[in-house]
Structure 1
Amino acid sequence: MTRPNLVPLGVIAGLIVLAADQASKWWVLNGLKLPELGQVRLLPVLNLTMVRNTGVTFGLLNGLGDWGHVLLSAVALAVVVALGVWLYRAENKMVALAIGAIAGGAIGNVIDRVRFGWVVDFIQAHIDTRWGDYSWYVFNVADAAIVCGVAALILDAQFSKRRKEQSIPTSPP
């Protein structure tokens, strides 16, 4: 059985994520001018909050110094190359879409690091209760695509494992 060529599907997914990410960041910076506003409350559980993230997803590795953005960009581009190899070997549409989403998100954040030296983060989910206020990390479209892509890969791996286990014939006693 030949494996389908899912590279175009993954590339299209990556380009859609990249375009959505860069368009949303352009709008936040130039249309809404969020850096001047600081924060805009959209819903009781959702704000637009301007954050200049010098780390990776969810602000991890923030303290890498002046060359941190270069190091993180190089690592992200190496990951994108590895994802390209994986995409070429993808066996189903879910994997191709997930890899494309991750790669598109990674490239979107690399573009920010090259342009600004930091990543534009602006989506803040939170909940205010009488027992305290709880807030998720501030993130962007690229981060969301990366997280959803990784989750889809994990789910696919689990379901693929179960399908393989169920398809293995058992020997008679």
Structure 2
Amino acid sequence: MTALAVAADQVGKTAAFDHVAEHGVIYVTPFLTIRAGMNPGIAFGLATQAQPLLLVAVAAAISLVLLVCIWRTESILQRIAFGMILGGAFGNIADRLRFGAVRDVIDLHWNGWHWPTFNLADAFITIGVLILLFVPDPTNRNKHENSTLSIDEQGSGGSRTQ
């Protein structure tokens, strides 16, 4: 999943930047445009004055934690979610190392409202986090059920506690 997310992000950004450079902004729908922008900061344009190598170091440390999470979880869905987050992080790290900033291409807007321009890496990170937050982990439920056994059931054949 990680490699797929990085590849999709990098190919998508390159294609968008190449097309916008030649033909201008792409108007996909009344609320979605593809444009070329550089973000020297982090999400939502924060930390624009931070040194690129500092941001890379922080992202690398977070990525290491995510790798440990992937190795430790038994849940396929959680591995996919962590892989999406890690792939998004690696996609943005690659941009920061190559360009000193992250390439943003997806622009959402509606009736005067505008979401900050983002990229596929950001979308992978967001979707991965949402999966972790809102989709129950079946392996965790099984552990919880096993932990509710009574002392008798664990040792001398009692019944399940409610």
| TM-score class normalised by the smaller sequence | 0.7 to 0.9
| Equivalent position of 1:49 in the other structure | 35
| Equivalent position of 1:98 in the other structure | 81
Of the three residues 65, 75, 97, the one matched with 1:82 is 65
How many residue pairs get aligned? The number is: 149
**Any unmatched runs of 5+ in structure 2?**
150-159
1:137 aligns with 2:116: yes
Structure 2 SS opposite 1:115 = helix
Structure 2 SS opposite 1:145 = helix
Structure 1 SS opposite 2:9 = helix
Of the three residues 10, 14, 28, the one matched with 2:2 is 14
Scaled by the length of structure 1, what TM-score is found? Answer: 0.77
What CA distance in whole angstroms lies between the structure 1 residues aligned with 2:21 and 2:130? 31
% identity of equivalent residues: 35
1:89-114 deviation line (CA, Å, top 9, x unaligned): 01201110011011111011011011
Runs of 4+ in 1 over 4 A off after TM superposition: 35-38
1:1-173 equivalences under 5 Å are 13-30=1-18, 32=19, 34-35=20-21, 39-64=25-50, 68-128=51-111, 133-156=112-135, 159-160=136-137, 163=141, 167=145, 168=148, 171=161
Higher Cα Rg, which structure: 2
What CA distance in whole angstroms lies between the structure 2 residues aligned with 1:116 and 1:60? 18
What CA distance in whole angstroms lies between the structure 2 residues aligned with 1:86 and 1:123? 29
| Equivalent position of 2:155 in the other structure | none
| TM-aligned CA deviation for residue 165 of structure 1 | 9.5
